Structure 1
């Protein structure tokens, strides 16, 4: 699991004289903008703005952990956030800033993001994934843990545990688009900030890992309030990982259950807003694959594919029913810039035929809907350069080219630019 890994990635430890106690801080500032773009019709209620926009986000975090010994830790994270998202964090399935939240204001908000207990049972075994000294492909591969079982209980981030990938995952030093931190069709359990309550476990055994989790859903899709009736509404996850010396393959399945709107009930109507429509107990689930492969010493490849089932609205992530992504990561050591990194990636998102008909009829999803639709897959090309100023301080320049925003050929393409400053201490 990512409980201790996330701490180990920090640049330093405050108060090292206190045994078992760790405290880390981080800050991420992102400035993002886009110019005007072509659009056949006027912007709809949930359109990505066709005029110039500038946005920013500011996230500060403080992570604390205490190790009781015997494999037991408690970990917490407090976050402070403010910002103005592009188009109110709507108008796209593939949102362009992974620090953006669905509920966000131009004033600081402080909240407890994580608060959980972690217990690990070691079974011994050997480290099967350390790179042979003469193998140049494997320097970026993390060492495999010993055979063990890890259990986590409390307020968690599902993406810190499921669908990991060395080259494209949730974080502050890789891609900015939501659809690279995980598959955009993976409608995982979370509140509007990306966190939830639940129980998860991971079994590592040799070259395999098995992860399982049971989490609380929001009361309403993409809102802050969490439904604590987890016997009735829940998100269940199962993931199997197979590793080899230079890569890994993962199979992920999930099912969520909560009150949702069925698009099929509104195909003969127009002007319908999903958030104002009656909701009924429903299931939404899907399966996907995730692969990573070190090609050379400083070059990695990644790809994801995911598909959902059903005709219901999205629960807790974004408006996509199928998604594909792939790309490459280049480590700066190749050009004598240790700590620098270049990423190039492609995203393709789809929605099912029922959701297409719903939007084409002039209706509005929770975060997308132009009042019209000439359907095509939403596509994104993103590239970034991360420049390490010094250890713990990084500056990233990012460009995203978006074709068919919100699946609509009547709009776009759009060019989105960004700078990100990330500091850890």
Structure 2
């Protein structure tokens, strides 16, 4: 199956490259013009991060290690076909290479959402998305849609139904935010671009297979989704038959304060599969004298959670956002990260005031926490999805601040400088604080 997926990705990449170079039609000025039923976009991102030396009295198997530098590179092709009005088929082959800091370990709110849970020294190809979307207009005002990655240019009515089925990201539909949701264009930290407690279904690259339905009516939107979990927590292979699954429900309300748009979203999720309870793992470890491991006590159960997501335009150039969430922290996280409670807030400001209208400055703060059961498990030597210092005698709230400046020298190209201050990495007061300095270069068409 892996060979087939890689072959599909390679063919799609080659086909997209040929379309871009040759082009079915060219305008009078020799610019590329694609037929209305076809869309091709692309992106490439290079991210470099380093963490200078910081206080570290000990290091465990999942610790953030001081004094390192890591980079990631990815390139994605977005090819879409519109077989009929409202219908879209998109394929997103991607080439990836590189590693996150400590191989994407050591901080629950990890500093780079461009770093996957798997890292490789040499470039490799993945088919990240392959999905079908159908939009059914139900009346209301007509709204113009600009063409973009995985979006056809055109129009739809304000009241509509949208059905998406196939392989895509849960975050493509749920928990979106205008100011903090795209690590290739805004913030980098995992717990800023998504609610840290939202244990969304995903493979190790952040994608799942499933279906999502959205009903837009006036100022309201109701979303429902069902997705496959990975076969084992934090795994690379997804279920295919929904034998372990996630259900998502989101209610969104859009509003205006004066002429400034905003939105409020409440997202519920429930994971159903084979999980380990922290106290069960601790009890077994006490009886056997071994290190606690949730994998040894997994049984069928469910793990719910809820989050609140706010965004508000303030001046046209200044926008604010906030998220807060919690989940059942007595049970191990499945596919995202080790966060049971989270609060994040921040904002972004475009450079209109200093003559750089396409540049952006962003600032955010995040507070991540664990339940007592989760802390006891880590203190006894248990290992989580991303964290685990071997012991946790002095637990504390993981506190992160992120600031960035994204400079756009030409259209479609951004160079971003990023700084993150991480207090109590992995919830450990005996380690850190860590300073993470990063550079991101991103281009898209």
User: What TM-score, normalized to structure 1?
Assistant: 0.90
Q: 1:185 aligns with which of 197, 204, 207?
A: 197
Distance across 2 between alignment mates of 1:275 and 1:228: 24
Q: 2:97 aligns with which of 68, 79, 82?
A: 82
1:117 aligns with 2:132: yes
Distance across 1 between alignment mates of 2:281 and 2:395: 18
What's the CA shift string for 1:108-134, capped at 9, x where partnerless?
Answer: 11011100111110011026999xxxx
Q: CA deviation at 1:144?
A: 9.3
Q: CA deviation at 1:330?
A: 0.3
Q: 1:69 aligns with which of 61, 65, 84?
A: 84
Q: 2:42 aligns with which of 2, 25, 28?
A: 25
Distance across 2 between alignment mates of 1:289 and 1:129: 28
1:224 aligns with 2:240: no
The more displaced of 26-35 and 360-369 is 360-369
Provide the aligned length of Structure 1 versus Structure 2. 398
Q: 1:344 to 1:129 in 2, by over 3 A?
A: farther
Q: 1:34 aligns with which of 51, 57, 65?
A: 51
What's the CA shift string for 1:169-194, capped at 9, x where partnerless?
Answer: 13411001011111111000100001
Distance across 2 between alignment mates of 1:128 and 1:70: 15
Q: 1:248 aligns with which of 263, 285, 295?
A: 263
What is the aligned partner in structure 2 of residue 135 from structure 1?
none
What's the CA shift string for 1:314-358, capped at 9, x where partnerless?
Answer: 110000011110001101122210210000000010111101111
Q: 1:241 to 1:207 in 2, by over 3 A?
A: same
Q: 1:17 to 1:293 in 2, by over 3 A?
A: closer
What is the aligned partner in structure 2 of residue 44 from structure 1?
60
User: What TM-score, normalized to structure 2?
Assistant: 0.86
Q: 1:376 aligns with which of 385, 390, 396?
A: 396
1:365 aligns with 2:396: no
SS at match of 2:83: strand
Write the mapping of 1:240-319 to structure 2, written as runs, cut at 5 A. 240-245=251-256, 246-267=261-282, 269=285, 272=291, 274=293, 277-319=296-338
What is the aligned partner in structure 1 of residue 29 from structure 2?
none
Q: 1:276 to 1:285 in 2, by over 3 A?
A: closer
The CA RMSD over aligned residues, in Å, is: 1.9
Q: CA deviation at 1:267?
A: 2.7
Flag structure 2 segments of 5+ consecutive residues without an equivalent: 1-18, 24-32, 146-154
Q: CA deviation at 1:19?
A: 3.1
What's the CA shift string for 1:264-296, capped at 9, x where partnerless?
Answer: 123353762637534222211101110111121
Does structure 1 retain, via aligned residues, the 8 Å contact 2:336–2:385? no
Distance across 1 between alignment mates of 2:234 and 2:160: 35
Q: 1:203 to 1:386 in 2, by over 3 A?
A: same
Distance across 2 between alignment mates of 1:242 and 1:47: 40
Distance across 2 between alignment mates of 1:42 and 1:282: 35
Q: CA deviation at 1:167?
A: 0.7
SS at match of 2:333: coil
What is the aligned partner in structure 1 of residue 151 from structure 2?
none
Write the mapping of 1:276-425 to structure 2, written as runs, cut at 5 A. 277-373=296-392, 374-425=394-445
Flag structure 1 segments of 5+ consecutive residues without an equivalent: 1-12, 131-142
What is the aligned partner in structure 1 of residue 8 from structure 2?
none
What is the aligned partner in structure 1 of residue 182 from structure 2?
170
What is the aligned partner in structure 1 of residue 227 from structure 2?
215
Q: 1:274 to 1:110 in 2, by over 3 A?
A: farther
Does structure 2 retain, via aligned residues, the 8 Å contact 1:384–1:398? yes
SS at match of 2:319: strand
Q: 1:273 to 1:45 in 2, by over 3 A?
A: farther
Does structure 1 retain, via aligned residues, the 8 Å contact 2:203–2:230? yes
Distance across 2 between alignment mates of 1:310 and 1:29: 35
Does structure 2 retain, via aligned residues, the 8 Å contact 1:345–1:382? yes
Distance across 1 between alignment mates of 2:412 and 2:405: 16
Distance across 2 between alignment mates of 1:156 and 1:128: 25
Q: CA deviation at 1:18?
A: 2.7
Q: 1:274 to 1:88 in 2, by over 3 A?
A: farther
